[in-house]
A and B are shown apart, each in its own frame.
Chain A
Amino acid sequence: MESLSNKKKVLEQKPLSFMERMYLPAIAKGMGITISHLFKKEATVRYPEVEREFSTNFRGMHSLKRDENGKERCTACGLCALSCPAEAITMIAAERKPEEKDLYREEKYAATYEINMLRCIFCGLCEEACPKEAIYLDGPIVPADYLRKDFIYGKDKLVEAPLEMKK
């Protein structure tokens, strides 16, 4: 039958010629290829010491941001938890007391804020849903651990370091 796509290639299997049956020219060619790789730049890096640069839109570990005065931005509105397709986020809201005015930006804040890193798929929808620009996935790769409970990250791990500590 006629080929419609015209892409078909008929390969012929010829018996090997004398030079081909000697194998030596082919082996020499192969050896040449492998030795050329001796002088090429290696594709790997010494990982723990050297890390590859991430792409600019890389999504890593979450961080809860602070505003310019060092107050936590999160108001525990729950939009991130609602938008999360993996249901990895949970939080408990609390009302700010007058003496906590320097800690939280608005009257309502997240008393606990937990992300289950085993559930999280790093889609970045929480980041998009947040009206207060409080959560960003700008951290490193989430490290490995041994126990499931250790993958539930609380505010101790998520909240950005305070301003004076940063300096």
Chain B
Amino acid sequence: MDSGFVIEKFILVAVIFGISLLIAMYSTYAERKVAAFLQDRLGPDRAGPFGILQPLADGIKMFMKEEIIPTTSNKWLFIAGPGLALLCACIGTAVIPWGSPMVIGDRVIPLQVSDINVGVLYIFGVVSLGVYGVMIGGWASNNKYSLLSAIRAASQNISYEIAMGLSIIALLLMTNTLSLKEIVDQQHGWHWNVLYQPLGFLIFMVCSFAETNRAPFDLPECETELIGGYHTEYSSMKLGFYLFAEYINMFVSSAVMAALYWGGYNYPGMDWVAAHAGTTWAPLIGTAVFFAKIFAFIFFFMWVRWTIPRFRYDQLMNLGWKGLIPLAIANIIITGIVIAIIEKF
């Protein structure tokens, strides 16, 4: 292994880590602004021009606040909870292909930290691990509401993971690969998977709303029933970690949706751009397109949050088990039949 490889990966990891934290930071600001605009308000505008420094002020506030660890809590798990939540949220970005390989001089740098051949499974694994952060935090708090919230989060995530996994199987039938890089490369130009798998995408999207504990599936932290949910007992930056993890999760699942279904860094006319912009800049334009798609999804997440009221718990379970899972299975069967027919003729 040459040192150039290590350096380039290190830079890539640092950049991706920094970008995802930055996006998570500004998602909090964007969420408040979007909420304000959708409700005919102005939103935060005190810190800096247009309130652009608001996330910074929030961060400082979080760090400066008093840290309370309840005496009846399990101290180590109480500390481990938010750490685990943030860790699981962050490592999901490792397998996402951010752009086609970039050529600088005579070096070809893949804009992906690691192209493992089970990338989709890795994402699923990491997302499932994310619920442990919530569960451990909720349990360690030794608070009834936190525990209820942790149980809700666990059962919700498990229920919706099934529908999510089934919806992705239909996609995998078409792509014949689990590598995210190959899946994205197959969607060259206009051949985005969402055009072939609209139902699969819809199921996947609804499930990712549930997986990220976002409205309308934000039952684990619904204030009206559970005070603050699993982070009721948390204060200071530990609370900040939980909130941060939620926004990073949102970013990662937007990236996964954009990569799996909306063509990732592919866009119509990319061949023309690649021929004219050169091999150094064309991948960066692709990355910019990818990020535009991610931001569109993040906006969609927020838009939905301020439109649809929260589900009741039985409605949530009904939708997951009786609605989405049968639909996903039907989608697999239809996709299988259509692929079989195409291969036959």
Contacts and interface: CB of A to CB of B under 8 A. Distances in A.
Nearest to A22: B323
A42 B37 CA distance: 7
A38 B37 contact: yes
B41 A42 contact: yes
B42 A34 contact: no
A34 B38 contact: yes
Nearest to A35: B303
Contacts of A97: none
Nearest to A38: B37
A37 B304 contact: no
Interface string B35-67: 011111110010000000000000000000000
A35 B40 CA distance: 11
Interface residues of B, number: 13
Contacts of A40: 40
A35 B37 CA distance: 9
Interface in A25-78: 27, 30-31, 33-35, 37-38, 40-44, 46
A3 B308 CA distance: 38
A42 B307 contact: no
Given A27-B307, A27-B308, A31-B303, A37 B42 contact: no
Interface string B296-329: 0000000110111000000000000000000000
A34 B306 contact: yes
A40 B45 CA distance: 18
Contacts of B42: 42, 44, 46
A30 B39 contact: no
Contacts of A35: 38, 303
B308 A30 contact: yes
Nearest to B36: A42
Chain B, interface SS category: loop
B41 A44 contact: yes
Contacts of A31: 303-304, 307
B303 to A, nearest CB: 6
A158 B62 CA distance: 44
B40 A37 contact: yes
Interface residues of A, number: 14
B300 to A, nearest CB: 9
A44 B42 CA distance: 7
Nearest to A24: B202
B36, B40, B304, B306: residue with the most chain A Cβ atoms closer than 10 Å: B40
Contact of A37 (B37, B45, B308): B37
Contacts of A46: 42, 45
A165 to B, nearest CB: 34
A87 B200 CA distance: 73
A98 to B, nearest CB: 56
A41 B307 contact: no
Contacts of B36: 42
Nearest to A43: B40
Nearest to A49: B45
B36 to A, nearest CB: 8
Contact of B41 (A27, A34, A43): A43
A30 B40 CA distance: 16
Contacts of B37: 37-38, 42
A43 B42 CA distance: 9
Interface in B1-55: 36-42, 45
A144 to B, nearest CB: 18
Interface string B153-193: 00000000000000000000000000000000000000000
Contacts of B306: 34
A27, A34, A35, A43: residue with the most chain B Cβ atoms closer than 10 Å: A34
A158 B232 CA distance: 50
B45 A34 contact: no
B310 to A, nearest CB: 14
Closest 3 CB pairs of A and B: A34-B307, A43-B40, A30-B307
27 contacts: A27-B307, A27-B308, A30-B307, A30-B308, A31-B304, A33-B307, A34-B38, A34-B303, A35-B38, A35-B303, A37-B38, A37-B39, A37-B40, A38-B38, A40-B40, A41-B40, A42-B36, A42-B37, A42-B40, A42-B41, A42-B42, A43-B40, A43-B41, A44-B40, A44-B41, A46-B42, A46-B45
Given A30-B307, A30-B308, 17 more contacts: A27-B307, A27-B308, A31-B307, A34-B303, A37-B37, A37-B38, A37-B40, A38-B37, A38-B38, A40-B40, A42-B40, A42-B41, A42-B42, A43-B40, A43-B41, A44-B41, A44-B42
Interface of B: 36-42, 45, 303-304, 306-308
